[in-house]
Amino acid sequence: MKQKAYARAGVDIDLGNRVKSTLPQMLAGTHRREVMGKVGGFGGLFALDVKKYKQPVLVSSVDGVGTKLKLAFAMDRHDTIGQDLVNHCVDDIAVLGAEPLFFLDYLGTGKLEPHVFTEIIRGFAKACAENNCTLIGGETAQMPGFYQKGEYDVSGTIVGVVDKSRMLNGQKSVKRGDAVIGIASSGLHTNGYSLARKIFFEQLKLKPKSRVAELGGTIGDELLNVHISYWPLVQSLLKKFNLGATRVIRGLAHITGGGFVDNIPRVLPGNCDVVIRKGTWKMQPIFRMIVEKGGVPDEELYQVFNMGIGMTVIVAADKADAVLREINRSKHTAWIIGEVVKGKGEARVV
C-alpha cells in the first residue's frame, strides 16, 4: 500500500491510532467508578461524588520530568518516566491533604515509537493504579523536526479533592517549637538533573551505563530511580493524627525544585523559620558522591537537590516521636531533621 502523504511528511496517523488502540486494556487498572465515558473522547468525564464532602475543594497541579528524560533516552528505558510524572504531581497536591482523582498526560515526540509509547503509558497506568487515580485522557503529538531524533517530552496534570475543613494550611497552623520530620527520597526524584548530569558525565567523565561500586549498579539506573509517591502515607497520617479539630500534622512540603530553601517556606507563616540540621538523616550514596566530588557549595546543593529527603512533615513537637514511629512502621524511613523557630518565613540549613 502506498504510504500516505502525511506519513511521508513524518506524521503517521494510522500508526498513532494503532498504538492508542491498546490504551483501554492498559488503563483498565486505573478505573474509578466516578469515571464516565471512555478514553479517547474530546474531554474526560468524572462525576465527583459531592456527598462525600461538606465543602469539596478541587486541587490541581501540572508538571514535567525535566532533563531526567535525557537519562531515559540514553538508557533506552522509558517505564519509569511515566511513574515519575504521576507521583510528582500526586505529591504536589498531597501536601494540601488532597486525594488524587484523575490525571491527564501530554506526550510530544518527533517520530512515534510504539515501544517507547507503550512503556511510558504503562508507567502512567502503574502509578495511577497505586494512587487510586484514573488516567482519564491525554494528548500524543507527532511533531517531526521539532525534537531531536529519539527524544520526546512529557507533562501531566493532576486533579484531586479535599474537604475544606480538612485542608492542610501550614501558614495558619505551623507554630514556633514544632518539629520537622524528613521522609527519605529514592534519590534525585525529578529535580536537579541538569547539574547532576554535568557533575557525573562532564566532570567525572562517567557514561550512563558506567558501573559505580558505591551505588551497586550503573549511574544511569541509579538516576532513573522512581520518584516516590507519599500520598498513601500522608493519607494514613492524616486519618490517625488530624482528628476533628486536632492538627498534629501542621504542614507538609514536597522537596522538589528549589530544595529545602525554596519549598519549605511555601507552607510557613510569616513569623516562623525552619532550621534544618545537616547530618540528622542518612544520605544516600548518590548524594554523598555529589557532595564529595561535585565541587558545589553546600548552600547551593540544598537548594537544588532534595539531598535524600523527599517530603517534610511539620508536626506538634509533643507528638513528633509518635508520628515518626508511625512513618517508620510503614515502608518509609524518616528522621527528625529540624524545628520551627521565630523568624520571617524562611528555611535555613545549618
Query: Of 1.10.260.40, 3.40.50.1580, 1.20.120.920, 3.30.1330.10, which CATH number belongs to 5-166?
Result: 3.30.1330.10
Average pLDDT, the chain: 92
Among the residue ranges 37-41, 50-54, 151-155, the one predicted with the least confidence is 37-41
Q: What is the identity of the amino acid at 350? A: V
The pLDDT of residue 11 is 73
Nearest alpha carbon to residue 120 among 89, 174, 156: 156
Work out the pLDDT band at 27, boundaries 50, 70, 90: low
Work out the pLDDT band at 1, boundaries 50, 70, 90: low
**With left for phi above 0 and alpha for psi between -120 and 50, is residue 127 left, alpha or beta?**
alpha
**Residue pointed to by grid coordinates 497520617:** 237
Domain with CATH 3.30.1330.10 in the chain: 5-166
- The CA-CA-CA angle for residues 307, 336, 217, to 5°, reads 35
Query: What predicted TM-score, i.e. pTM, was given to this entire model?
Result: 0.93
What is the architecture, at CATH level 2, of domain 170-349? Alpha-Beta Complex (3.90)
Query: Residue 216, exposed/middle/buried by CB under 10 A (0-12, 13-18, 19+)?
Result: exposed
How many CB atoms are located within 10 Å of the residue 35 CB?
A: 19
The pLDDT of residue 38 is 74
Quick one: three-class SS letters along 275-333? EECCCCCCCCHHHHHHHHHCCCCHHHHHHHCCCCEEEEEEECHHHHHHHHHHHHHCCCC
Residues 6+ apart with CB under 8 A from 249: 168, 237, 238, 241, 242, 313, 314, 315, 323
CA distance 256 to 337: 17
CA distance 331 to 214: 23
CA distance 295 to 288: 12
